[in-house]
Amino acid sequence: MDTVEGAVSALRQALGEQVLSVESFRGETTVVVAREAIVEAARLLRDAPELQFNLLAALTAVDYLPEEPRFAVVYKFYSLPNNRFLGLRVPVPGDDPEVPTIEGVFPNANWHEREVYDMFGITFKGHSDMRRILMPHDWEGHPLRKDYPLGYEEVQFTFNFDDIDRRKRYARE
């Protein structure tokens, strides 16, 4: 049995009804789990000796406005010994954007979860340092939400093509 198939089977067996669905697209498998089960799912993937998904490769979110659940938190795990990726996705309602942290299972989730909080406004319950990481601390709003106002500020930098043409000419001489 392939590592990914084994992981899906182990997740279904351990989590039961909390595995909402399994999706495959272009050779990548994603298991959709309830948000209450994300810590247990991450721990199972890391600790099962036959799976060894020992790297949290990525953690991000998606805003599906106007659909509900509005958000999805997307996790990508990698098994170094087996050279396999597996995705987990957690649907998150727009009126309660909170997911348990997996920082205790994968310490590098700290930075990823802070970025998701900063950009999407999804909080991670139990996180050790839930504060902005990319935007200034006094910034209002979350820029990757689809309902975030764009503002249309003036461009701060303009590209001067005349300078480039002049530099090219001098470089040839």
* Helix pair angle (3-15, 38-47), 10° resolution: 140
Overall number of domains in the chain: 1
Predicted structure pTM score: 0.85
Domain extent for 156: 3-172
99, 92 Cβ separation under 8 angstroms: yes
Phi, psi of 30, deg, nearest 5: -130, 130
**What does the pLDDT look like over 81-102, one tens digit per residue?**
999 999 999 999 999 999 999 9
**What does the pLDDT look like over 121-167, one tens digit per residue?**
999 999 999 999 999 988 899 999 998 887 766 655 555 555 555 55
Say which CATH number the domain at 97 has. Answer: 3.30.460.80
